[in-house]
Amino acid sequence: MISNSRVVAVVVLPCIVGALRAQQPIPNLAGRVMTVSGPVAPDRLGHTLMHEHIFVDLTLPDDQPERWAAAGRQRPAGATAARLYHQPLTLDIVSSVMLGAINRDNWLLTDESEQAREIAEFKRAGGGTIVDATSMGIDRRPEALQRVAQASGLNVVMGTGWYAAGWYPKDLDRRTVESLTDEIVRDLTVGVGGTGIRAGIIGELGTSANPGAGIENRILRASGRASRLTGAAITLHSTEAARQHARILDILVAEGADPSRVILGHADYLAGDLTYITPLLERGATIEFDLLGKPPLVTRKWPIDSEVAKTIVALTKAGYADRIVLSQDVSAKMSLKSYGGTGYSFIEEQFLPYLKRQGITDAQIARIMVENPKRLLTFVAPRS
């Protein structure tokens, strides 16, 4: 780990616009990975999970039905549903949640000692780095991330930007592209709030069926700009049906982002559709299969991991091993080992051995788990 005092030389970019950038030059972080504990040499990452949530709050306020609608969630109806919704998640009601009950506590990953224990399982299984993709609006916790990173010995890379419509902070839709850009750049180069703890990636950014309009469009444009100005990568949340990836790349590229710095998340839903995936990879984007190990739910059909594995084999054979990353998107208590799930170590303990049985070599696994994350998390030279 490299101490904060050795952050590389500061360069003043020409054509600086915006209040923040007029006051402070943007540091050139090229060649470094930014973790919550400071910059780290890229060779120190090891096996990397590119899209997890160590801390997250995906609850919705009971008195704001418009947020539930925006999130596509049904509120609990009836006495039994209300009781299950409000009680703490315990092992004896996990099966009810699998069968369709909703439980508020399930959407909260907030217990620091519990989360430290859970991520230690990934370290024990051979892991080195976790990207915490919790962005603004869903309870990003820079200081707690720093503490669990230090306790676990893992590198933790924090996200910035904004998540999805149900969780946008109040008044976000009044913000301009310039003001959103400034906040992202500040998170990446100065730190979040007064903490001095810096984000190392832009996202996860929620995207919908209509990325060309409204605040979602402004967030994407600001993220494209911020990626250009800082050299950070962008990680995207996409929904099952939207299939707007090409259009989103167009929006980011129009603001100067490099498509090879963009990660298309939740792509498990695209498994098997090489006709759709290949042109995106040809543009340089990286595909992220990050829903691996999710516990079964009758209300939501997760993609089947054998289909994801088949797609990884096919993409590897076609020469795209350098465009694939993996993760588990742990974002609910029922995914944790202490609630009967596979936690943060499903990929290390189960999926990588399975991929090997399908013919993926050790060198290809190193490419997917180490080299590709390293390329993406290492800042490139900023462009004005």
Q: Which residues bind Zn ion (CB under 5 A)?
A: 204, 237
> What residue type is assigned to position 25 of the chain?
P
CB-CB contact of 368 with 192 (8 Å) = no
Q: How far is the CB of 265 from Zn ion (least distance, A)?
A: 6
Q: What is the dihedral of CA 241, 246, 250, 251, to 10 degrees?
A: 10
Residue 281 token pair: 């990879």
Reported as type and span, the H/E element at residue 159 is: strand 155-160
Look-up: residue for tokens 């180069």? 189
Least distance (Å) between residue 267 CB and Zn ion: 11
Q: Give the nearer residue to Zn ion in terms of CB position, either 204 or 216.
A: 204
Nearer to Zn ion, 118 or 204 (CB): 204
Nearest distance in Å: CB 286, Zn ion:
16
Tell the smallest beta-carbon distance from residue 131 to Zn ion (Å).
Answer: 12
Nearer to Zn ion, 204 or 258 (CB): 204
Rank residues 204 and 371 by Cβ distance to Zn ion and give the closer one: 204
- Name the residue whose CB lies closest to Zn ion: 237
Rounded distance between C-alpha atoms, residue 194 and residue 191, angstroms: 7
Q: Is the peptide bond preceding residue 204 cis, with omega within 30 degrees of 0?
A: yes
Q: How far is CA 39 from CA 139, 261, 323, in A?
A: 23, 19, 24
Please report how close the Cβ of residue 4 comes to Zn ion at its closest, in angstroms: 30
Please answer whether residues 47 and 36 qualify as being in contact, where contact means their C-beta atoms are separated by less than 8 angstroms.
Answer: no
| Cβ proximity to Zn ion, 131 vs 315, nearer residue | 131
Quickly count: other Cβ atoms within 10 Å of residue 20's Cβ. Answer: 18
Please identify, using beta-carbon distances, which residue of 40 and 165 lies nearer to Zn ion: 165
User: Please, what is the minimum distance in Å from the beta carbon of residue 285 to Zn ion?
Assistant: 16
Residue nearer to Zn ion on the CB measure, 71 or 172: 71
Q: How many CB atoms lie within 10 A of CB 99?
A: 11
Q: How many helices (H) and strands (E) does the chain have?
A: 15, 12
Q: Are 196 and 348 in contact (CB under 8 A)?
A: no
In the chain, % helix, strand, coil (3-state, to 5) comes to 45, 15, 40
Instruction: Report the nearest approach of Zn ion to the CB of residue 331 (Å).
Output: 7
As measured in angstroms, the least distance from the Cβ of 218 to Zn ion is 19
Q: Which is nearer to Zn ion, 58 or 89 (CB)?
A: 58
